[in-house]
Amino acid sequence: MQNYQCNIAVVAAGPSGLAAAVTAAENGMDVVILEKSSVTGGAANMGMGPFGVESRIQKANMIAIRKEDVFREMMEYTHWQTDARKLREYIWKSGSTIDWLEDMGVEFAGPCKYFPSAYPTWHAVKPEGGGAPGPRCAGTMNKVLTNRATQLGAKLLLNTKAVSLIKEDGRIRGVRALDTQTGEEVEVRSDAVIVATGGFGDNPEMIDRYAGCTYGKDMFNIRIPGVTGDGMRMVWEAGGRKGRITMEKIIWSRIPHNPMETSFRQPCALMVNSLGDRVMDESVVENASVSANIISRQPGARLYSIIDSRLVNYYRKKGVDYPSGIGIGNDLTHFEEEFESLMAEYPDCVWEAQTPEELARKIGIDEDTFCETMEEYNLCCEEHVDDIFCKSYHYLRPLTGKLYAMEFCPGAYGSLGGIQVNYKFQVQDEEYRPIPGLYASGTDTCDIYGDTYLFVFPGNTMGYAVNSGRLAAEHAVEYIEDLAEE
């Protein structure tokens, strides 16, 4: 058996665990990090950057967004269905955390929005080697955090899967784990443990059991290998209370890394369900999480976005109304060729047709209803008044050319919540009492959105991960210092 002794054991080396490890080490703690993968960063290696309010970079760009305003809007958005004190601690920490990361060597491209009506809270990380931010650029931030943690003396155990928590006399005393390469048991004795394992996005059984949906049927979330709910299970087994669990829903296509998704997520599109009925003001599609709610209510959890050749030509000349925040799919120069290629590879996800009747037959939706819907919608466009869903006349363009369609369904970045913590990120038992020595952070504890991911403040989940990791570590340090005085 491999044996280690430390002040704080951190379970998982995603952005939350890494931020916790760096913070603890900066405060003079001996730290051991257990990561079951062969690399650090977790799901955040797929992302772009964290949320922050009142950061130096925002102030330099004359962005006057205030912590108090964000707090009020987030609480009203959730109808106060979240821990207000925990949310407050996160928001108040977020600006200084961006500064902290910058001081560490992380470079940001600037505060960004994800869509036009969102707020510029998203601090997209500059990719390693330069260039514009894009998918996976946050991996650069994770490398900086990893290097900083090890420079400060933290012991990083890769390929080491945490199995259970050590609980003695009502206190958490460490972690039992397994070296997945050698099969050797590992025991880390510590004064406190911080669990930051990132949810259960790669566990269809837990999605079905706890999130109220079925992977591959009405849920097509991103699955980051290894994110299987290990931390939740260990905490629950140690007496931790189950927290609220949801999925971080977004509108999604079943096509991996879909290069044309942006073309069909536009306000001038027509969106219908499998019955052929129009169901929404299509301009709402800019908000991916709200759009996912709409799709989840439809038969078969499917929605079909329809555009035509005239709209393609218009966007080709003027640019799309809602450009992608990551720069993918904004250019329609070669739309027809790219669509043909996509249709050949995914014939059950994208279609083209010369008439509404032909398109309905190809998709498999009710032909008569769809044709009536098309006629009704085009009339609204010609009269410049949508008296059905009140879409702005700016986005009312009749679809009379060659038709193109793409299927959308509910997706998600992963799960949210599962471990109940207080505002000090102490894990609570069934009576809401803190379990001494046990802390949790990141996605495992992220229940701050109520029932729908708050997309208008982009970067929130990664921001919550980094900030909750810092806060959990700070409170764990206080706990250990109090123990030393006993």
Q: In 3D, which of 162, 135, 142, 245 has the Cα closest to residue 199?
A: 245
What b/e readout covers 191-202, taking b as 16+ CB neighbours within 10 angstroms?
bbbbbbbbbbbb
What's this model's pTM, rounded to 2 decimal places? 0.95
**Which pLDDT score is estimated for 323?**
87
Q: How many other β-carbons are positioned within 10 Å of the β-carbon of residue 275?
A: 14
Q: What angle do CA 66, 69, 71 make, to 5 degrees?
A: 105
Count of beta carbons in the 10 Å neighbourhood of residue 423? 15
pLDDT for residue 325: 67
- Evaluate if residue 327 carries a pLDDT over 80: no
Instruction: Determine the Cα–Cα distance for residues 302 and 68; give it in Å rounded to an integer.
Output: 38
Mean pLDDT computed over every residue of the chain:
95
Dump pLDDT digits (tens) for 417-439. Answer: 999 999 999 999 999 999 999 99
The answer on pLDDT for 329 being more than 80 is: no
* The pLDDT of residue 46: 84
With beta carbons less than 8 A apart as the criterion, state whether 469 and 267 touch: no
Please choose, from the candidates 470, 339, 469, the residue with its C-alpha nearest in 3D space to the C-alpha of residue 403.
339
Average pLDDT over residues 12-27: 98
- 394/69 Cα distance (integer angstroms): 30
Q: For residue 153, give Cα distances in angstroms to 19, 142, 157.
A: 14, 17, 13
**Residue 263 near residue 312, CB atoms below 8 Å:** yes
- With b meaning 16 or more CB within 10 Å and e meaning fewer, what string describes 276-288? bbbbbbbbbbbbb
Q: Which of these ranges, 224-228, 352-356, 406-410, has the smallest mean pLDDT?
A: 224-228
Strand segments (E) across 15-115: 31-34, 108-112
- Return the percentage of the chain with pLDDT > 90, whole number: 90
One-letter amino acid at 247 equals: M
420: amino acid identity, one letter: Q
Q: How confident is the model at residue 116 (pLDDT cuts 50, 70, 90)?
A: confident
> For residue 143, which phi and psi values (nearest 5 degrees)?
-65, -40
pLDDT at 449 over 70: yes
Are 198 and 15 in contact by the 8 Å Cβ rule? The answer is no
- Using alpha carbons, list the distances in angstroms from residue 271 to 259, 335, 399: 19, 20, 12
CB 456 within 8 A of CB 429: no
Structure confidence at residue 331 (pLDDT): 87
pLDDT at 74 over 90: yes
Q: Which pLDDT value is given to residue 136?
A: 76
Question: pLDDT band at residue 364, thresholds of 50, 70 and 90?
Answer: very high
d(CA 72, CA 80): 10
Tell me the average pLDDT across 395-424: 97
Burial tier of 60 (Cβ tally within 10 Å: 0-12, 13-18, 19+): exposed
Structure tokens at 89: 């601690």
Backbone φ, ψ for residue 365 (5° rounding): -105, 165
278 DSSP assignment: B
Mean pLDDT confidence for 305-321: 96
d(CA 302, CA 443): 27
SS3 193: strand
Query: If you average pLDDT over residues 12-28, what whole number do you get?
Result: 98
- Give the residue among 140, 193, 143 at the shortest CA–CA distance from 164: 193
The runs of H, that is alpha helices, within 258-334 are 261-264, 288-296, 309-318
Kindly report the number of other CB atoms within 10 A of residue 263's CB atom: 25
**In the predicted structure, residue 485 carries a pLDDT above the cut 90:** no
Calculate the CA 428 to chain-centre distance: 25
Mean pLDDT across 322-348: 88
Q: Domains in the chain and their CATH numbers?
A: 2-248+415-485 (3.50.50.60), 255-348+355-401 (3.90.700.10)
Going by the DSSP 8-state scheme, the letter that residue 41 receives in this structure is -
Partners of 125 in beta bridges: 108
Residue 486 has pLDDT above 80, yes or no: no
- Give the list of residues 6+ apart from residue 414 with CB closer than 8 angstroms, or none: 43, 198, 199, 200, 201, 221, 222, 224, 227, 247, 248, 443
pLDDT (tens digit per residue) in 125-176: 988 877 777 777 888 999 999 999 999 999 999 999 999 999 999 999 999 9
d(CA 193, CA 266): 46
How far apart are the C-alpha atoms of 195 and 163, rounded to whole Å? 12
Asked whether the predicted pLDDT for residue 326 surpasses 70, the reply is no
Contacts of 272 (CB under 8 A, 6+ apart): 278, 279, 303, 304, 306, 365, 370, 373
Residue 212 has which token pair?
């109220």
